[in-house]
Amino acid sequence: MSCTDWRWWCAREGGRSPVEKDFHDLPKDVQGAFLRLMEAWMTGVLASDGDACKRYGQYGILYFRHSKGNNPYRLFFVMEGTIAIILDAQHKNQRKIDNETKARLKSRARSGSSKEFS
């Protein structure tokens, strides 16, 4: 799988993206690692269900994994045609994804809009 572009999830057309803010709040080296994974996804070098990219539950949600020391990070996204829409970016501080994050991912995967990646 690959994509032609990345976009940020937002609740409505022209709205602000909380995901974009969350991404930019991550450490710079973690952002860089995710940007490299995103580029690999765009070029088709990276496939889902590998070590760095996994499928998560229903609704076509995928995620990139990156660790910095003992700190795991996740970048969740869905594919809409050839466009990848980033749903969430976070430091994963528990073994399992908490119920609040699960509900947010499902809701975002089913609704909302997107804005240009910058």
What is the per-residue pLDDT across 55-69, written as a single tens digit (0 to 9) for each?
887 778 999 999 998
Helical packing angle, 18-25 and 28-43, nearest 10°: 120
The pLDDT tens digits of the residues spanning 60-109 come to 899 999 999 889 999 999 999 999 999 999 988 777 777 888 888 888 88
What average pLDDT does the structure give for the chain? 88
* Long-range pairs for 38-45: beta carbons < 8 A, 24 or more residues apart: 38/6, 38/64, 38/75, 38/84, 41/1, 41/2, 41/3, 41/84, 42/2, 42/3, 42/4, 42/5, 42/6, 43/2, 44/1, 44/2
Q: Looking at residue 112, what is its pLDDT?
A: 79
Q: Is the pLDDT of residue 48 over 80?
A: no
Q: Is the pLDDT of residue 45 over 90?
A: no
Chain-centroid distance of CA 98 in Å reads: 16
Domains identified in the chain and CATH numbers: 5-101+110-116 (3.30.2310.20)
The pLDDT tens digits of the residues spanning 2-42 come to 889 999 999 888 888 999 999 999 999 999 999 999 999 99
Q: Looking at residue 35, what is its pLDDT?
A: 95
Asked whether 90 and 108 are in contact (CB, 8 A), the reply is: no
Confidence of residue 117 (pLDDT cuts 50, 70, 90): confident
Quote the percentage of the chain above a pLDDT of 90: 49
